[in-house]
């Protein structure tokens, strides 16, 4: 997503020294703020405002994610980076078997992810695959590169870690999926005009 921000800046003619200084400075300040201050605020909130209903803690988590996304957007990065960073920061503070974690996973899996996938699906015109030969070429190249690069990475790591063939296959299988982050990146590129419909 950071590479995508650079590509968007290059596409709009804003890629200069000022852009790089702003990106590096703001990103460092932003990441430091989220990683250092968000856990302290979260711990304080959970200590003083937790109730039996558990509504307040869930609203706090959602607010933290949305605020983090908003500030990510303000500094010139994609909001999804802010949401991801907030999630990484909050995850260790929420017990895995807690009601809050259950609610976070339930809403994410039953609402956010399906709505994202449906919204992307509604943008796609399946006819393009049959009428645009470039779309077929792009599909073949992207799938081939994704599979080969993940296979090569799993082979190299397995040699370094002295893993068996089965363990190598497991690493490949667990890392080969591309849906969420790749789809989000392509969708952002499509919205700003970098990618055409055949790429989407």
> pLDDT tens-digit profile of 129-153?
888 888 888 889 988 998 999 999 9
Which among 13, 100, 91, 17 has a CA at the least distance from the CA of 59? 100
Q: What angle is formed at CA 116 by the lines to CA 26 and CA 191, rounded to 5 degrees?
A: 60
Full-model pTM = 0.73
Dist CA 155 CA 159 (whole Å): 6
Q: Output the average pLDDT for the chain.
A: 87
DSSP conformation class of 91: G
In this prediction, the residues of the chain whose per-residue pLDDT falls under 70 are 178-179
Q: What angle is formed at CA 108 by the lines to CA 113 and CA 85, rounded to 5 degrees?
A: 95
Residue 146: CB partners within 8 Å, gap ≥ 6? 176, 178
Dist CA 23 CA 74 (whole Å): 11
pLDDT of residue 132: 84
Cα 33–chain centre separation: 19
């Amino acid at each position: 997503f950071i590479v995508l921000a650079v590509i968007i800046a290059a596409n709009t003619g804003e890629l200069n020294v000022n852009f790089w200084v702003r990106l590096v400075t703001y990103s460092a300040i932003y990441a430091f703020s989220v990683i250092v201050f968000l856990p302290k605020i979260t711990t304080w909130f959970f200590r003083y405002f937790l109730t039996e209903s558990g509504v307040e803690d869930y609203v706090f988590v959602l607010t933290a994610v949305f605020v983090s996304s908003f500030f990510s957007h303000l500094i010139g990065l994609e909001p999804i980076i802010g949401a991801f960073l907030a999630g990484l920061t909050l995850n260790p503070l929420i017990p895995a078997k807690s009601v809050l974690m259950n609610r976070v996973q339930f809403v994410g899996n039953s609402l956010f992810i399906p709505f994202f996938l449906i919204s992307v699906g509604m943008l796609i015109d399946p006819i393009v695959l049959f009428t645009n030969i470039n779309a077929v070429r792009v599909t073949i190249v992207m799938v081939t590169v994704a599979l080969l690069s993940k296979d090569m990475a799993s082979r190299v790591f397995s040699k370094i870690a002295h893993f068996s063939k089965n363990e190598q296959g497991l690493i490949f299988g667990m890392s080969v999926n591309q849906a969420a982050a790749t789809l989000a990146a392509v969708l952002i590129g499509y919205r700003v005009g970098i990618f055409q419909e055949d790429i989407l």
